[in-house]
Structure 1
Amino acid sequence: MSLEAVCPWKGSLPRLQVRTWIEPVVASTQLAASLYDAGLLLVVKASFGVPTFSNHSAAAVSPSPRGAQEDSQQKAISNFYIIYNLVMGLTPLLSAYSLGCLSDRYHRKISICVALFGFLLSRLGLLLKVLLDWPVQVLYGAAALNGLCGGFSSYWSGVMALGSLGSSEGRRSVRLILIDLMLGLAGFCGSIASGHLFQQTAGHSSQGLVLTACSVSCATFALLYSLFVLKVPESVAKPSKTLAAVDALPGMVGTYRSLDPDQPDLQSVEGSLPSPEKAQPKKTIIALLFVGAIIYDLAVVGTVDIMPLFVLRAPLSWNQVQVGYGMAAGYTIFITSFLGVLIFSRCFRDTTMIIIGMVSFGSGALLLAFVKKTYMFYIARTVMLFALIPITTIRSALSKLVKGSSYGKLFVTLQLSLALTGVVTSTVFNEIYQLTLEKFVGSCFAISSSLSFLAIIPIGLVAYKQTSWSKFGGVEEK
């Protein structure tokens, strides 16, 4: 078996210079983000009067696992995240789309570099809060600065645009999931280290100083690398081997130029082209993919936003090191999802891979709703091993329906849609979590599971429409 068969992205590497690789930016940015996320949770918890975790602190905080003190602290942290997520989700609406348009028109790095500058400002905000003991509300301002610079919506749409430009259509799903793999590996390392780094100043007035300083350093490297080292790759997208060009009107004799050296240069086929009325409805396909992505993202956000609160309280009552390990377990999904796409892309269509991922996440979220012990938590996370496949594969499928010059607007529109719906979901799920603390603490996970299975419906419609069109037009989806 050839190396290219094992690693499909290898074929395009000789044409690309190392400086066109976006992976160093993704890895350093995610390392900074994972350190920041863990530090934010632990700093906020300490700010609301909870002592720094230790092996015996859980018992010292509250004699009753379900005491009023613990519940009030959970609600205070939840309320903080409601406002914080609103700021993080809504402020990018003011700038992200404009940055995407500027990237399409002038330079692909605009959205990435401006967003990374905002990331650096938000990390500096957390560092100053820890160093100068500012009130926790300062972090709302840091989040606003991040959002006004485009936030994650602008950054990730820029990354996806560069990744799509540097890959052919046949290898695009693997190329984009490879970028996600780099993100997951960096997040895994950052999460594993976060609890230990936070402990470096435990008991001192500046808790988390080492952790936040490392986050700022990684964010600074990412910004400098994207400004002075990163280059925009030339598009390597190629037409399909079977249909390189069509020089015919519907219903007339068509001439297909084949790129396959084993086939004749010209093949005349009569009446094999679909009429314009029956051609693949790209707008409908794009709309259905958007709907599927949004519903699935609602499920993911509903689980991810509640999970940190869930593990801090009884029955799990994790300490700071366990929190880091739990976050790291979430990042292993990036590795398993990458392997899944690498294998599934050889025998399944994009829509099939998306459905596999949705079933994986929905099943894991349902198990998570009934977790009582730490080992049960990790079993539920293991079931989610393909949870990253849907959104990444949807981006790949969308990129095949538009021209490369529109990638910036397409990806930023999708990302803003996900961000906006994510804000609503975060607020609603935090409220549900507070209302069900004493009744059924896993209710949010059960709702997320239902949403994940619901998202399969629009993707199934996409599969049906594409199959019908493929049979009619004689073109098989790759």
Structure 2
Amino acid sequence: MGPRVTCPWRDRFSGFQVRTWMEPLVALTQVAGSLYDAGLLLVVKASFAEAGGSSNHSANPSLEEPQEDQEQKAISNFYIIYNLVVGLTPLLSAYVLGWLSDRYHRKISICIALVGFLLSRIGLLLKVVLDWPVEVMYGAVALNGLCGGFSAYWSGVMALGSLGCTEGCRSLRLILIDLILGLAGFCGSMVSGHLFRQTVGHSGQGLLLTACSVGCAAFALFYSLFVLKVPESVAKLNKVQPTVETMPGMVGTYRTLDPDQLDKQSVPGPPLIPGKGKPSRTIITLLFVGAVIYDLAVVGTMDVMSLFVLREPLKWNQMQLGYGMASGYMIFITSFLGVLVFSRYFQDTTMIMIGMVSFGSGALLLAFVKETYMFYIARAMMLFALIPITTIRSAMSKLIKDSSYGKVFVILQLALALTGVVTSTMYNRIYQLTMDKFIGTCFALSSFLSFLAIVPIGSHILKSQKGEPTVQFSW
């Protein structure tokens, strides 16, 4: 039996350090985000439906199918530009905020990103109230991106989550944060369709939904500014008695990653061999490549899915759309339970591959969905889809200094954001070209990419079997 690993949230309960909890912040932000995402899609759909109906009804009153296709293409084109703005505008600001967070204060990237988050939600509210054209949302989301966007926000959350946590239970800690995010998103999506239908005339369509989103975003910003405290680094607390830990999913033993630990000779274990830093850099690269390929598959599926359910053969209404989006958040619960169980028996790399196989199988079934019940079966097959990215973050955090968490996590998040930009454009174009021939083409492509992402992770395992040592890696 090895030494008992204690998880950080138990210590927090005993010490009443509730101000270090990020869960309320994540929950508020995700409720606001899920309401916003559903509201934006429904508002955009209503805007294009009205524009298409007024321009085409008199000329072709009986041609409903071409009008539906035209509406689908208009929504798809809107999201192509929208996702380009979402992905490109945070590129510079997010890295700068990550660097400032590492150098000065951990909350900088979170607080500034939430300012932009609130501004974009206010933009959607003003669009509904003042009946502005949907193109105004490009400017609103650009403000969000210039404040760091989701890349700065989520990298800041992951950095704080990793700080107050021992390496032995970091995967579980980060997936717990994802679980809170999923539960909040589930609640927000479940009520989004009902809130959207609570209207007062045409000018009020979506007013209650967008107002609730703004309110949650404002509370999240308040919590981050005046309540949230940065937890103390576990590595610094343990620097008086440094230990050697064997981490799941990694090769060999290595030191607790404390940048201030200078007495490296006092710890028993294999000596650090000069010039052997490259294997760790190779492992980091393999993890990056696996994360990017897998994210391409996931983001592409999510982008197309919202359009897929609005047309034949499913053709959902507002309430069904809300329920369908809520079902997607169930994977946060199942992925958490998966990590809770799998971490006892498997290495990190094995858990990553289990998640990739789960998502790839679900995406393949989704390509052939004809009925609503088949859609939910496909979503159920994706029950471990969240494990790969979260576990990759955890594995990377075990190879770097905690003083570099902000920069490293924001680099990974920006890489995923750039992937999202390419994916959105590519998948929306493929969807437009194939929706009349085989509407499941994009989902079949995602399934292939998900299985392809296993290759670099498998390469990491092969390198591990060769016995290459893992050493301390610093950026």
TM-score (norm 2): 0.88
**Are 2:280 and 2:470, in contact at CA under 8 Å, matched by a contact in 1?**
no
Q: In the alignment, does 2:391 pair up with 1:387?
A: no
Change (3 A) 1:372 1:64: farther
Change (3 A) 1:274 1:244: closer
The corresponding residue for 1:235 is: 233
The corresponding residue for 2:141 is: 143
Instruction: Write the distance in 2 (CA, Å) between the matches of 1:388 and 1:255.
Output: 39
Q: 1:72 aligns with which of 53, 70, 73?
A: 70
Change (3 A) 1:64 1:331: farther
Change (3 A) 1:216 1:281: same
Unaligned runs of 5+ in 2: 52-59, 247-252, 257-263
SS in 1 for 2:329: helix
The corresponding residue for 1:400 is: 398
C-alpha displacement of 1:420: 0.7
**Are 1:280 and 1:469, in contact at CA under 8 Å, matched by a contact in 2?**
no
Whichever residue aligns with residue 345 of structure 1, its letter is: S
**Are 2:254 and 2:470, in contact at CA under 8 Å, matched by a contact in 1?**
no
Instruction: Write the distance in 2 (CA, Å) between the matches of 1:347 and 1:331.
Output: 26
Instruction: Write the distance in 2 (CA, Å) between the matches of 1:244 and 1:283.
Output: 15
The corresponding residue for 2:25 is: 25
Instruction: Write the distance in 1 (CA, Å) between the matches of 2:171 and 2:287.
Output: 15
**Are 1:121 and 1:142, in contact at CA under 8 Å, matched by a contact in 2?**
yes
1:239-260 alpha-carbon deviations (Å, 9 max, x no partner): 43577869xxxxxxx9875xxx
Q: In the alignment, does 2:34 pair up with 1:34?
A: yes
Give me the identity figure in percent.
Answer: 72
C-alpha displacement of 1:331: 0.2
Q: In the alignment, does 2:423 pair up with 1:425?
A: yes
The corresponding residue for 1:346 is: 344
SS in 2 for 1:281: helix
Counterparts of 1:172-251 in structure 2 under 5 Å?
172-201=170-199, 203-237=201-235, 239-241=243-245
Change (3 A) 1:414 1:245: closer
Instruction: Write the distance in 2 (CA, Å) between the matches of 1:158 and 1:218.
Output: 19
**Are 1:273 and 1:473, in contact at CA under 8 Å, matched by a contact in 2?**
no
SS in 2 for 1:78: helix
**Are 1:62 and 1:69, in contact at CA under 8 Å, matched by a contact in 2?**
no
C-alpha displacement of 1:443: 0.2
Counterparts of 1:134-173 in structure 2 under 5 Å?
134-173=132-171
Counterparts of 1:9-158 in structure 2 under 5 Å?
9-13=8-12, 14=14, 17-50=17-50, 67-158=65-156
Change (3 A) 1:351 1:16: farther
Instruction: Write the distance in 1 (CA, Å) between the matches of 2:50 and 2:87.
Output: 27
Change (3 A) 1:24 1:70: same
Instruction: Write the distance in 1 (CA, Å) between the matches of 2:360 and 2:430.
Output: 19
The corresponding residue for 1:303 is: 301
The corresponding residue for 2:456 is: 458
Q: 2:445 aligns with which of 447, 466, 470?
A: 447
**Are 2:358 and 2:384, in contact at CA under 8 Å, matched by a contact in 1?**
yes
Counterparts of 1:246-257 in structure 2 under 5 Å?
257=267
Instruction: Write the distance in 2 (CA, Å) between the matches of 1:38 and 1:201.
Output: 15
Instruction: Write the distance in 2 (CA, Å) between the matches of 1:312 and 1:244.
Output: 52
Instruction: Write the distance in 2 (CA, Å) between the matches of 1:339 and 1:240.
Output: 28
Whichever residue aligns with residue 240 of structure 1, its letter is: V
C-alpha displacement of 1:469: 3.1
Instruction: Write the distance in 2 (CA, Å) between the matches of 1:50 and 1:192.
Output: 26
**Are 2:8 and 2:166, in contact at CA under 8 Å, matched by a contact in 1?**
no
C-alpha displacement of 1:468: 3.0
Change (3 A) 1:245 1:50: closer
C-alpha displacement of 1:94: 2.5
C-alpha displacement of 1:276: 3.5
Q: 1:276 aligns with which of 274, 277, 290?
A: 274
SS in 2 for 1:306: helix
Whichever residue aligns with residue 30 of structure 1, its letter is: Q
1:218-244 alpha-carbon deviations (Å, 9 max, x no partner): 000000000000000001145435778
SS in 2 for 1:234: coil
Instruction: Write the distance in 2 (CA, Å) between the matches of 1:62 and 1:402.
Output: 63
Instruction: Write the distance in 2 (CA, Å) between the matches of 1:408 and 1:473.
Output: 22
Instruction: Write the distance in 1 (CA, Å) between the matches of 2:255 and 2:87.
Output: 43
SS in 1 for 2:351: helix
**Are 2:23 and 2:177, in contact at CA under 8 Å, matched by a contact in 1?**
yes
CA RMSD, 1 decimal: 2.4
SS in 1 for 2:222: helix
Change (3 A) 1:169 1:130: same
C-alpha displacement of 1:282: 1.1
Whichever residue aligns with residue 377 of structure 2, its letter is: I
1:323-352 alpha-carbon deviations (Å, 9 max, x no partner): 000000000000000000011111111100
C-alpha displacement of 1:446: 0.4
Instruction: Write the distance in 1 (CA, Å) between the matches of 2:63 and 2:346.
Output: 52
C-alpha displacement of 1:166: 1.0
Instruction: Write the distance in 1 (CA, Å) between the matches of 2:11 and 2:422.
Output: 40
Instruction: Write the distance in 1 (CA, Å) between the matches of 2:336 and 2:182.
Output: 10
More displaced, 417-426 or 272-281? Answer: 272-281
**Are 2:94 and 2:152, in contact at CA under 8 Å, matched by a contact in 1?**
yes
Instruction: Write the distance in 2 (CA, Å) between the matches of 1:50 and 1:374.
Output: 26
Change (3 A) 1:404 1:385: same
